[in-house]
Structure 1
Amino acid sequence: MTTTAAPPTSPTPPLRANRDFRLLWIGQALSDFGSSMVFIALPMVLLSGGYSTSAVGTIGTAMLITALVARMPGGYLTDRYNHRALMLTADLARFVVFAVVTLWTFLGELPLELAVGAVVVAQLGAELFKPSQSAIVRLVVPREQLPTAISLNQARGYAAEIAAPAAAGVLVAVSLGLPFAVDTFAFAASAVCVYLLSPVARASRAGAPVSADERRAAKAAGTREPFLRSLTAGLRYVARSRFLRTVALLATGLNFLFQALVYALILGLAQGGGGSGAVGAALSVAAVTGLVGSVVAPFLQRRLRIQVLVAAGPAFAGILLAVAWWTGSEIAFAASLAGMSLLTPVVGAALGVVLVTLVPREIFGRTTSAIGFVSESLQPFGPLAAGLMLAALPLSAVSAVFACGFLVIAVLALFLPSPPPPGGRTAGGSRR
């Protein structure tokens, strides 16, 4: 009896050969650069127009509030509508608003109301774009390449943070409207890249049924489920999963401390001997270490348990902050931010892979948005906490407070439950 050998399986093409991923990455890289630059350029332009620092501060407040309010609705829309259409809508809306800002700035002084409105539209677009892009990446990238894809996406953001401040300063010096013109072009280019996605990516929708029976069941379920219950499906999924709810709670405390640390560094170093130059250098170093962390994330993910990955960043930062408290060193204080920035993208990439392999497609957008909503809910209070601490305590004592906070989170992270295996039971108890 003769047997026929099975045909050899062809190896997965490298990620650089994935046309859809390349289009998504290039388009969003341009968009990230433009957005990072505009959020730096807008305050400069408003200050040059005679607005007070308190008035200009409304830009940051509007951005944080909009992000918090729009986070869960963005995930809900991602799970109900075509991803590509949502991304195009977000890009085109931002293109139009920054085209108006560009024209207005070239013709005269930019009103504060228009600047705040532009920030709100830009943040709404970002909250609509991000979950849809993550869902398409999950669809077009093979599972074994997801760690690399997510790490490259994070590296893209850190690279924008490194390049944007210098570019914004140069462009504002040439013309106040030039940064906004670049941003307008960036959103147009991103829209073109989204438009050119393959038919598979174009048709993507998280809960799209693939059979007649599934379509009838989806239609029936859609008529019965109230809007509020559908909107909060991601929150309920997170609450039922011991791993996800623990991650969300740890991230809430960590994000609050990280945001407070950034502002404590800015205020503390600016008032110290280094001044604004030391602040700029510290933030640039943190951005560079974040980029390095994104590059090495896949390597570390394959070798360390997720509990160790989550604990490493706050433990490193806590130790450096304890050194800053003991020695009074501003360098050690600044180094703690760099240490957190180095390991934060590693954790982000690891959790991103867990989410795309664990969460069912039909609630992926709402679940990731729910985790973001919960984990960032205390972030707006970070700058206030930093200001109050520095008003009452010297920088060395503030370092001790931060050291205790980060070390507590590091210890708790070691007891993080392990994520369920891919293809295992979901939080609700059913198989994927």
Structure 2
Amino acid sequence: MGEAEEKLRPSLSELSGKERSTRSPFRRRDFSLFWAAGAIDGLGTCASSLFLPLILLGAGYPAGLAGLVASVALVSGLVVSPVAGVFADRWPRKPMMYAAALVAAGAMGSVFTAVALGHVVLVHVLVAAAVEQAAGAAYGAAASGTIRRLVPAEGYARAIGSLQARDQAVQIVGPTLGGVLYQLARWVPVLADAVSFLLVAALSKAIRTDLTPEREAPAGSFTRDLGEGLRFVWAEPFLRFVVVWTAGINALLGALYFHAVFASHARGAAPSSIGLILTLSGVGGLLGALAAPWLVRRVPAARIVTGASWAMVPTAAGLAFASRTWAYGLLLSGVSLIVPSVVVVLQTRAVLVTPDRLLARMGTVLGTAGQGVAVLAPVAAGVLVAAYGGRTVAWGCAGGFAGLALYATLKAGLVSREAP
């Protein structure tokens, strides 16, 4: 073989590196199990959570008390999440995942039994929904520390993108599936949720990879470990940026979605038309998540974050001039199309800059910060639309997006900096 030909041939390490970077994460058995567990979990939860209030209404409880179930369940998950993050960085994560799934299965199984027997009691349903959300938070905390073990570093973007696509697809299919099951019988969605948790437990237990977190020192007190996670996130400039950007985006997106729903209702739109808004938004999010890994491989990370942040400004402003339901849906679909690529960039780098022993705490801190602010979005949107009108709210959200885009532009160096 000639010297020139030898120089032209790439080395084995270069070939293997390129192959690893383009290889689908689904070729890894344990990642496929993890992905499937999350999909089944999401479908089961969507199938039941939307219809628990209807079950209470059918049992004769007033709408206010029925709505209380969803609120209490959501708050319980937010409260438990940081606590679960501490234990997920102490304990073996795989047993924690399937134990949490079994607890959730027991909670929903008890509701199924009550509904099937015709003995629905508000306190029982309330406690069961709170336990399910708390168990889900524990599962999520343990799961947030697994991606580093399941795929190599060069595959993080594709893996996180596939998880984003999964979650978007679940949000589209789940409510429809729940509606179909509810038509069969009131107890069917709850039974499906309980069975889904059993499947999640089985899939989690089947993962062979050791998911036990690394620890540099024996576990300290609970408050010290919790404080360590909070201090790490706040001390790392990039993670501080993620907290601010994610919380702001979640709040503004939530306000936009509910603004579109309230404004459409005020214009006399039918419920089916209002549902079209959420469907189009979900489809946009799914397409964005599917395209995100491809885009992340070809466009610099800082350009994705700043470009997407600025692109949301005119989209939000366009809602101020929208007057038809399909226009609301298309504009929100555009926003949903943009967000997943940014999420993939931020989550990938967050995993890279965080030590393994802090992954779960980092994930729960970021998740709680984002979701905690989003909880206020429905109330804020309703009050603002009633007080100032939909157009004013849309302009306000556009201004909020502009502020976040300016912040992202000023902090672009944090995103482009190489991870340690």
Tell me whether the two structures share a fold, i.e. TM-score over 0.5: yes
The structural deviation recorded for 1:312 is 4.1
The answer to whether the 8 A contact 2:274-2:325 is kept is no
Of 318-327 and 29-38, more deviation after overlay is shown by 318-327
Partner residue in 1 for 2:258: 263
Q: Unaligned stretches of 5+ in structure 1?
A: 1-5, 209-213, 425-432
Aligned in 2, Cα 1:133/1:324: closer, same or farther, shift over 3 Å? closer
2:135 & 2:24 partners in 1: Cα distance?
A: 31
Instruction: Give CA deviations for 1:168-226 in whole Å, capped at 9, x if unaligned.
Output: 1111111000011111111111111111111xx2x322224xxxxx6xxx23xx3xx44
Q: Tell me the CA shift for residue 109 of structure 1.
A: 4.5
**Mapping of 1:209-358 within 5 angstroms?**
218-219=217-218, 222=219, 225-326=220-321, 328=323, 330-358=325-353
Partner of 2:375: 380
Question: Separation in 1 of the partners of 2:312 and 2:54?
Answer: 32
Cα offset, 1:313, TM superposition: 4.3
Amino acid at match of 2:49: F
Q: 1:423 to 1:285 in 2, by over 3 A?
A: closer
Say whether the 8 Å CA contact 2:296–2:345 is kept in structure 1: yes
Mapped contact 2:86–2:222 kept (Cα < 8 A):
no
Deviates more, 1:279-288 or 1:310-319: 310-319
CA distance 1:375–1:28, change in 2 (3 Å):
closer
| 1:110 match: secondary structure | coil
* Cross-structure match for 1:418: 414
Structure 2, gaps ≥5 residues long: 1-9
For 2:135, the aligned partner's letter is G
Paired with 2:203 and 2:112, the residues of 1 have a C-alpha distance of: 22
* Contact 1:131–1:368 (8 Å) recurs in 2: yes
Contact 1:320-1:336 at 8 Å conserved across structures: yes
Corresponding residue SS for 2:51: helix
1:147 corresponds in structure 2 to: 157
Separation in 2, partners of 1:327, 1:262: 13
Instruction: Name whichever of 10-19 and 181-190 sits farther off.
Output: 10-19
Deviation at 1:103, TM superposition (A): 1.3
Report 1:117-136 matches (<5 A): 117-136=127-146
Aligned residues of 1:159 and 1:291 also touching (Cα < 8 A): yes
CA deviations on 1:150-178 (whole Å, 9 max, x unpaired) are 11111111111111111111111110000
Indicate whether 1:85 and 2:73 are aligned: no
Moved more, 302-311 or 323-332: 323-332
Tell me if structure 1 keeps the 8 A contact 2:74–2:130.
Answer: no
Q: Distance in 2 between matches of 1:310 and 1:125?
A: 33
1:315 Cα deviation from its structure 2 partner: 3.3
Matching residue of 2:114 = 104
Amino acid of the structure 2 residue aligned with 1:173: Q
One of 199, 211, 214 as aligned partner of 1:204: 211
CA spacing shift, 1:336–1:411, aligned 2, 3 Å: farther
Greater displacement, 306-315 / 182-191: 306-315
Please report the TM-score for the alignment, with normalisation by the length of structure 1: 0.87
Q: CA distance change for structure 1 residues 67 and 308 in 2, over 3 Å: closer, same or farther? A: farther
Q: 8 Å contact 2:276–2:326 — kept in the other structure?
A: no
Deviation of 1:423 after TM superposition, in Å, equals 5.5
The structure 2 residue matched to 1:52, chosen from 56, 59, 62, is 62
**Counterpart of 1:93 in structure 2: which amino acid?**
V
- Once residues 222 and 30 of structure 2 are traced to their aligned partners in structure 1, the CA distance between those partners, rounded to angstroms, is 33
| Aligned 8 A contact 1:321 1:332 in 2 | no
Q: Which residue of 2 aligns with 1:429?
A: none
Percent identity over the alignment is 26
Matches within 5 A, 1:398-417: 398-416=393-411, 417=413
- CA spacing shift, 1:239–1:297, aligned 2, 3 Å: same
Name the stretch that deviates more: 175-184 or 121-130.
121-130
The alignment partner of 2:212 has SS state of coil
Q: Alignment length, in residue pairs?
A: 405
| Structure 1 residues 26-48: Cα deviation after superposition (integer angstroms, max 9, x where no partner) | 12211110011111121222222
Amino acid at match of 1:237: F
